[in-house]
Amino acid sequence: MSILDYFSAILLAGGVFFSFTGAIGLFRFPDFFTRVHAASVTDTIGVILIIAGLLLQTSFDLNIIKLLLILAILLLTSPTASHALAKSARHGGLLTLAESNRSNDR
Amino acid sequence: MTEVLIDLVLLGMLAMTALRVIFLKDLFAVVMLFSIFSFVSALIFINLDAVDVAFTEAAVGAGISTVLMLGTIALTGRTEKKNSHSSILHLVVVCVTGAALIYGTMDMPPFGNADNPIHQHVAPRYIEDSPKEVGLPNIVTSVLASYRGFDTLGETVVVFAAMIGVLSLLGTARPTNKRATPESGLAKHRVLHVVAKIIIPFIILFALYVQFHGDYGPGGGFQAGVIAAAALILYALVFGASFAHRIVSPRQLEVFAPLGVLLYASVGLVGMIKGANFLDYNVLASTAAAGQHYGIIIIELGVGLTVFAAMLGLFYAFSNQVERSNVQ
Amino acid sequence: MNLWQFVEPSMLVNLAIVVPVIGALLLIAAGNYPNLRESVTLATAALLFTIVLVITDNTFNAVAMETTWVALFPGLSLTFVVEPLGVLFALVASFLWIITTLYAIGYMRGHKEDNQTRFFFCFAIAISSVMAICFSGNLLTLFVFYELLTLSTYPLVTHAGTEAAKKGGRTYLGILLSTSIAFLLLAVMGTWAVTGTLDFQPGGIVADTENKSLLAVLLVLFCYGIGKAAIMPFHRWLPAAMVAPTPVSALLHAVAVVKAGVFSILKVAIYIFGIDRLKEIPTADVMLYIGAATVLISSSIAMTKDNLKARLAYSTVSQLSYIVVGALLATPIAAAGAALHIATHAVGKITLFFCAGAIMVAKHKKNVSEMAGLGRVMPITMTAFAIGAISIIGLPPMAGTWSKWFLTIGALEADKLIIVVTLMISSLLNIAYLLPIPIKAFFAKQAPSAEPWSWAEVQEAPLPSVIALTVTSAGCLALFFFPQPLVDLINLIPGINGAINGVG
Amino acid sequence: MSVIVDYYNYWIVVFLMMAGFYVVISANNLVKKVVGLNIFQTSVFMLYISMGKVSGGTAPIIIEGVTQYSNPLPHVLILTAIVVGVATTAVGLSLVIRIKHAYGTVEENEFQNEDDAI
Amino acid sequence: MLEQHLPALAILLPLIAAPIVFILGRSTVVWLLATFTGAWASIVAFQLLLTTLAEGAIHYSLGGWSAPWGIELTVDALNAFVLLAVTGVSTMVLVYSKESIAKEIDKAKHGFYYTAYLLAMAGLSGILITGDAFNLFVFLEISSLATYTLVSLASDRRCLTAAFRYLIMGTIGATFILIGVGLLYMKTGTLNMLDLAERIAAFDRSRTINTGLAFIVVGVSIKLALFPLHRWLPPAYTYAPSAVSSFLASTATKVAVYVLIRFIFTIFGPDYVFYDMGMDMVFMFLAIVAIFKCSYMAAVQNNVKTILAFSSVAQVGYMVLGISLVTTTGLMAGLIHIFNHALMKSALFMAVGAVFYRVGSVEVHAFKGMGKQMPFTMAAFTIAGLSIIGVPLTAGFVSKWYLVSAALQQNLWVIAVLILLGSLLAIVYIGRIVEAAYFHDVPEGRDASKLKEAPLLMLIPMWVMVLANLYFGIDTSLTTEAVGHASEWLFQSTELLEVAQ
């Protein structure tokens, strides 16, 4: 194993870790907005790390460009999607946990 | 061994998803689970070397089908009601069918074995001779477009037939009333607007890439058509259907879809006029290889056109229904 | 005779079947002009009769006549072959068609019926089917036209269009179609499967068949499949069909339809099983006794019926079984008697029906109990009725005598005394239910009118009807004194072979 | 053990198929029926793709130096079948929408009660 | 030049006409074009039949790729014969459609109607003459999708649920067929039917092939509405527009029966299916039950289209019964009944559609008095009804004759009796309608003067079918020759041949 492979492995492991935490968060967090937050971790840092790890695995050819493009597109769309989700939820009248607690207290 | 492991994990996920679908009453969740099911099966397809299939499954199963299903539950309500009648009979039917299939697996050729009959008969010729006979590196495209081109014509017609069915049922999208253009739910999303404007050209570019690169890598007219349609669907979702109608109107789609079929068929007819059998591309140009190449490009275009028009048409029809119900 | 001398003898067979159809089409064309329409009908009937006469002549001269239409199945065609039994039936049917037409004109006009064109049209089609049955060359042809006959007479039965007519029609069609499809077709196909042919051949076609029990089953299927022979318990359609206008009852349900039934049974007995072979079939006896039982039971029922036409209908059921019995006795003489009975019973029974119809038209009376003293008003009709009744009973000097005589001889020859006794008892029953009617008509005491009888009292049916019933009653007499032509014809039938040569 | 290695894939696929099939025939909600139909069909696609797999093979796109390819024919067939599947889904869902309009419900037992079922 | 392309033309004509029709939209031109296409396709079918009878099977390699690598169209006496029935009847129904759908389908949807109709035709033709098992599935789906659309075009809302049920059942059936074909492919590596046949015969009969057979049979049985998998059919035929009922009843199930025959005889071989697997007893039992149960169901219905629909299921029973007798004659009976039943059912549904056109209802009581008001229509109905019953000189008699003789050849007297008893039930359900037409007056409250005879464009195709019923009941040479060839060829090279004769 070359040094690149070690780096790659670390990056991939990091990506897997963040994806995994994102998934756990999706299940464990208490309300919609925090869950979206957890999910977007998977979409952003998890994906970045995994693609970076993969970049180190490929030889220098067309695949690198493809991977970079994928990364670019994902970085563009995933946050947008999270944003749209959250905003729609808000638009639809969904309250955060804190807000709903407050309204319950009142 | 890794392949097997991945395969097992994915299949396990599928099994869980499927079981969940049976018991869930929330249709929105059911549809999302189906979408997941589709995605995971696309992954399995990749793992099983079926890249073209995976591509299509992701675009169609996870993409178009899900959109259509979501549109439907938006109209029909998102919970399934309690079902009182017993389903023992159904369970028995399913168990018997499943038992028959398991019985059938007992004599199946082992999974993945290169000596299986299907790898020994018919297929070797595709793998060995198609680069010479058809001249494309992507064997799937060669078989799809040339050896079994008639199937693909049928497939195109199926898409066309589906469009006919949906349009006749839901009505063609009526010309949008300018004044009463309903605000898309997403109209106020500045971020979405910006990102969509950035990304849509790339999607269309990608569609064209898939269309013309299908000979060399995974892809082809069908996937390209779906992706191109997806670009416009995104546009319609973000900016509202009336704007999308201005780019490609429903009436135009009603012409594009049949035109694609006709384009495909006419390639075959030209072959017939030149004295060969229907869909024989060899005679289209001076050499067989060039003929095959032209033929495949044109028919892929036909497929792409029809699929694009049909998929977009389906979306228009569904969204039209949703809008109508919103207005009411 | 000269009329048809330029026509191929075989062509005559086609003509006999086609002429009524053409007549039917013509009379539809003439539908709006009653006089023209009825002239067409009469002319067609007359033409048909001449054709049948020529065919008869040819038969005596042993000219072979046969024709094939189309092959329905490989090796099976619609084929027509002239043979003496068929000629006999054709003669009876075509002659009586003329008379009935005459009668019908009077009856329909007198009764002011609706849909007269449809009536005459279906009538002609029915006659065409009868002709085809007469000359059919194989079982398939017989079956085909047997069904056509059923269908073409159905509108006639339901002619009145009333609830009762519909009910009757349903019974009629239901029983006839059901039995023919469920039993007759099966029997036909069974014969085909067993023997590989369906042609009518002298001596039968089942001679080589070893499987007796199969033949036994086939025989039963034939007997019940030919529902038109009205063997009990499948006789219900015949009384039900009496809702039809009287000319229909007269021709079709005394002559054409029912006779087509018994004719078919005779034909099957003679040309499919063969008289000799028939004796060996175990169920022949069973069916024979069922036939005999039918004779007695239906006679008894007839006595209980007050409605004249119903009484006549049960009488017909009974008389039909005579013929079935004759066929199943499986002796040449009995078969000959059965064949002769087709003719004699036809003439007798049609007379009776004509009379019943005439009474209905003139006096609107349907029930026997109302007919006392009617002889004063309708002397000709009631005289004819008496003649017909005597003929049916089988007393000299009427035609029925001969056929009953031969049947009895045949039964004796076959050593079936029970049958002889049955025939005797039946004759007595006939007397009991038929003769009282004319007797009461003429001799019943009538309190109010003490004045001597004068012509002024007479209120006969319209003239054509009276002519018709006179002719047929004369026929009853004539056939007693001159049965020879018919006897000669019957003697030509293979299997009978001159068995009754000495008579006449 | 070898039996399991040889067939495990098919068995799970059969299970998936039957899960989908069960949803189709037992679901009372029409949308769910259609979803079940899709799961059923997708699983059948997996059966086909599974049989086309060759251990150690690669995707059937000619690359220099590779000799072992998976079988392309099942892929072609399934491409077609997927399209057929989505076509059926689209028509089925449109029918569901129309049924909703006409009856106000998409639960099978409810609209069957409204009409006299044959 | 066109002669060599006849097999391809049979599919391509409607296939190409469909998109053109869709582009042209709704007008009389579209109707003319569709009818013209249908007529041309019928002529092609007729030529194909003549050619196959004279010269034997035709093989046409699409794309110039020889089988089993490419897809091959294979035309023999069997499918050319069924193709002729399907295209001929479809064309007549097309002629009939113009007036009928004007009444029953929203004018805006006429373009959809003709397009879907042509697509269905193309699909059915494709199923019939393709020589490739998977290609068959594709065309099956084309025709199915098009027919779901056609059924749902009616204005009665119940057509929607009927179409949906049809869609679910049809798709399950198609998926079963797909599974079956997959299993066969897995064991043999080929999809070409003839190649499949060779290789199945060559290999040991394994459990996989058995299962494949089972799935294909069940899948096809759903499509052909074999009892007890028929539940989708009665509502579909009842609530579809009349022209569509007429089209479907006379073509769709027939083509499915063809598929069954093709799979059993050409691909698996009768020895295997009937002797090793004992399917004949299963088929025979189901067919008999279908005949009685569904004839009875027909007799108690009040909607005439439902009556005819149940009658169709019963008649499918006759076809399957013919197949299950496993003799050349039995198969001939089944095949000839495919043809004849197409003739009679289309005529019956056309007549019902004509009554609907005038009265606006298809309940039995709507037929009251129609014998006077619509004499030609009801005469057509009556004759076609007699044909269903199996009265001599009609096409139905010919079928029944062959069926009964096949049963008798096998010494199955009980079966023969049951067949004939089954036709008695037909008397009941046809009789009810005929009686209502001729012996009842037009019910109160219905203006008799408005109930005229149906328009000529409906009467002509109806009577063409009726006359065809009579013609093929009298001159059986064409049908007999074709089915004789076909069934002999199907039994060829099987050990059963000696048994069969």
Tens digit of each residue's pLDDT (9 = 90 or more) over B192-245: 888 888 889 989 999 999 998 877 878 888 899 999 999 999 888 888 888 888
Domain with residue B22: its CATH number is 1.20.120.1200
CA E299 and chain centroid, separation: 22
The domain containing residue B161 runs over which residues? 137-328
List of residues 6+ apart from E444 with CB closer than 8 A = none
In a domain, B93, yes or no: no
Instruction: Specify which residues E59 forms β-bridges with.
Output: E74
Find the angle CA(A52)-CA(A56)-CA(A60) to the nearest 5 degrees: 115
Contact B21, D19 (CB under 8 A): yes
Binary contact (A77, B199; C-beta < 8 A): yes
E218 at D interface, C-beta within 8 A:
no
- Which residues are within 8 A (CB) of E340 and not within 5 positions of it... i.e. 6 or more apart? E387, E395, E396, E398, E399, E469, E472, E479
Domain ranges of chain C: 2-491
For residue D61, the SS3 value is strand
Bridge-partner residues for C138, per DSSP?
C199
Minimal-distance CA residue of chain E relative to D114:
E158
Any chain D CB within 8 A of the CB of E164? yes
Distance (Å, whole) CA B172 – CA E100? 23
**CB contact D57 to B (< 8 Å):** yes
User: Within 13 Å, how many C-alpha atoms sit on residue E287's CB side?
Assistant: 24
The string of pLDDT tens digits covering residues D60-116 is 888 877 778 888 999 999 999 999 999 999 999 999 999 988 888 888 877 776 666
Which among C340, C269, C456 is positioned nearest to C91, based on CA atoms?
C340
What predicted TM-score, i.e. pTM, was given to this entire model? 0.90
Give me the pLDDT at residue B174, please.
Answer: 62
User: Strand, coil or helix: what is C78?
Assistant: strand
Residue E79 · residue E448 · CB < 8 Å: no
Q: Which of C86-95, C224-233, E85-94 has the highest mean pLDDT?
A: E85-94
CB C359 within 8 A of CB C371: yes
Q: What is the pLDDT of residues E192-233, one digit of tens each?
A: 888 888 888 877 678 888 899 999 999 999 998 988 888 889
CB atoms within 10 A of CB C443: 11
The whole-angstrom distance between E377's CA and the closest CA on chain C is: 17
Residue C397, preceding bond cis, omega within 30 degrees?
A: yes
Mean pLDDT across chain E, nearest whole number? 88
Q: How far from each other are the two terminal CA atoms of chain E, in whole angstroms?
A: 41
Read off the pLDDT of residues C97-106 as tens digits, 9 standing for 90 and up.
Answer: 888 888 888 7
C185 CB neighbours in chain E (<8 A) are 400, 404, 420
Crossing angle of the two packed helices C34-60 and C84-111, in degrees rounded to 10: 160
pLDDT of residue B81: 78
Q: Say what the pLDDT of residue C37 is.
A: 83
Average pLDDT of the residues in B306-322: 90
Backbone angles phi, psi at C307, to 5 degrees: -65, 125
What is the three-class DSSP state of C248?
A: helix
* E51 near C CB under 8 A: no
Q: What's the rounded Cα separation, in Å, for the pair D92 and D82?
A: 15
The answer to whether the Cβ–Cβ distance between B165 and D90 falls below 8 Å is yes
The vertex-A73 CA angle with A71 and A76, nearest 5°, equals 105
Mean pLDDT lowest among B132-141, E77-86, E439-448:
E439-448
Single-letter residue type at E393:
L
DSSP conformational letter for E4: G
- Nearest alpha-carbon partner for B62 in B215, B227, B294: B227
**Cβ of residue E215 closer than 8 Å to a chain B Cβ:** yes
pLDDT-derived band of residue D117, with 50, 70 and 90 as boundaries? low
Q: How far apart are CA B169 and CA E157, in angstroms?
A: 12
- What single-letter amino acid sits at B80? E
C-alpha E24/C-alpha B258 separation (Å) is 11
Please give the Cα distance from C498 to C339 (Å, whole number). Answer: 13
Helix/strand/coil (H/E/C) assignment for every residue in E231-271:
CCHHHHHHHCCHHHHHHHHHHHHHHHHHHHHHHHHHHHCHH
E262 to chain D, closest Cα gap in Å: 21
Cis previous bond, C233, omega within 30: yes
Q: For chain E, how big is the Rg over CA atoms in Å?
A: 21
Helix (H, G, I), strand (E, B) or coil at E130: strand
ipTM of the complex: 0.87
Kindly tell me the sign of the dihedral angle through the C-alpha atoms of A85, A90, A94, A98: positive
Average pLDDT, chain B: 86
Neighbours of E306 (CB within 10 A): 21
Alpha-carbon gap, residue A31 to A25, rounded angstroms: 11
**pLDDT tens digit sequence for C459-470:** 777 777 888 888
Nearest CA in chain E to D117: E235
- How confident is the prediction for chain D on average, in pLDDT? 86
Q: What domains, with CATH codes, occur in chain D?
A: 2-114 (1.10.287.3510)
Q: Helical H runs in E189-241?
A: 193-202, 207-224, 233-239
Q: Where are the alpha helices (DSSP H) in chain B?
A: 2-23, 27-47, 51-57, 66-76, 88-105, 117-120, 123-133, 139-142, 149-170, 190-213, 221-239, 241-247, 250-273, 288-327
Chain E positions touching D118 (Cβ under 8 A) are 234-235, 238, 301, 306
**For the packed helices B2-23 and D2-26, what is the interaxial angle rounded to 10 degrees?**
20
Contact status of E185 with chain D (Cβ, < 8 Å): yes
Residues in chain C: 504
- Say if residue D42's pLDDT is above 90: yes
| pLDDT tens sequence across A22-80 | 989 888 888 888 888 888 888 888 888 999 998 888 877 788 888 888 888 888 888 88
> Hey, are the CB atoms on D77 and E172 less than 8 Å from each other?
no
Closest listed residue to residue D7, CA positions, set B37, B115, B17, B107: B107
Query: Could you report the per-residue pLDDT of E327-359, keeping only the tens digit for each?
Result: 888 889 999 999 999 999 999 999 999 989 888
Q: What is the DSSP letter of C71?
A: E
Q: What are phi and psi of E475, to 5 degrees?
A: -100, 100
Residue of B nearest to A76 (CA): B195
Distance of CA E209 to the CA centre of its chain: 28
Does residue B150 sit in helix, strand or coil?
A: helix
Between CA C400 and CA C230, with CA C356 as vertex, the angle to 5 degrees is 60
* Residue C178 Cα, gap to closest chain E Cα (Å): 6
pLDDT computed for residue C77 by the predictor? 84
CB C387 within 8 A of CB C437: no
SS3 category, E74: strand
Instruction: Say how far apart CA C319 and CA C301 lie, in whole Å.
Output: 13
- Listed residues B62, B81, B100: the one ending a domain: B81
Q: How many CB pairs under 8 A join C and E?
A: 72
Residue closest to C351 by CA, chosen among C376, C315, C321, C318:
C315
Distance CA(C435)–CA(C385), nearest Å, equals 9
What is the C-alpha to C-alpha distance for residues E164 and C217, in angstroms, rounded to an integer?
51
* b/e map C472-494, b = 16+ CB within 10 Å: bbebbbebbeebeebbbbbbbbb
B71/B148 same-domain check: no
CB contact under 8 A, C178 and E386: no
Structure tokens belonging to residue E419: 């067949």
Answer for the pair C335, C275: CB distance below 8 angstroms, yes or no. yes
- The DSSP H or E segment spanning C80 is strand C76-81
Does residue E495 surpass a pLDDT of 50? Answer: no
* Chain D residues near residue E168 by CB distance under 8 angstroms: 24, 33, 37, 92
Number of domains in chain B: 2
Please answer whether residues E118 and E34 qualify as being in contact, where contact means their C-beta atoms are separated by less than 8 angstroms: yes
Residues above pLDDT 70, as percent of chain C: 94
CA atoms within 13 A on the CB side of A106: 6
CA separation for the pair B324, D101 (Å, rounded): 12
- Give the C-alpha separation, B298 to B282, whole Å: 14
The answer to whether chain D touches chain A by having 3 or more C-beta pairs less than 8 angstroms apart is: no
First to last CA, chain C: 26
The answer to whether E35 and E95 have CB atoms below 8 angstroms apart is yes
Is the bond preceding E68 in cis, omega lying within 30 degrees of 0? yes
Q: Which stretches of E410-446 are DSSP H helices? A: 413-439
In chain E, which among 143-202 make CB contacts under 8 A with chain B? 145-146, 148-149, 152-153, 179, 183, 185-191, 199
Instruction: Parse chain A into domains and list their residue ranges.
Output: 3-105
**E424 interfacial to chain C (CB closer than 8 Å):** yes
Among C170, C128, C138, C183, smallest CA distance to C14 is for C128
For residue B110, is it within any domain?
no
Among C68, C69, C72, C215, which would you mutate to test the E interface (most chain E Cβ atoms within 10 Å of its Cβ)? C72
Chains that touch E (3 or more CB pairs under 8 A): B, C, D
The phi-psi region of residue E64 (left if phi > 0; otherwise alpha if psi is between -120 and 50; otherwise beta) is left
- Structure token digits, residue B98: 């499943």
CB contact under 8 A, B192 and A84: yes
Task: Give the CA distances from residue C253 to residues B246, C154, C320, in Å, rounded to whole numbers and listed in that order.
Answer: 81, 12, 11
Query: Any chain B CB within 8 A of the CB of D6?
Result: yes
Locate the chain B residue with the closest alpha carbon to D28: B83
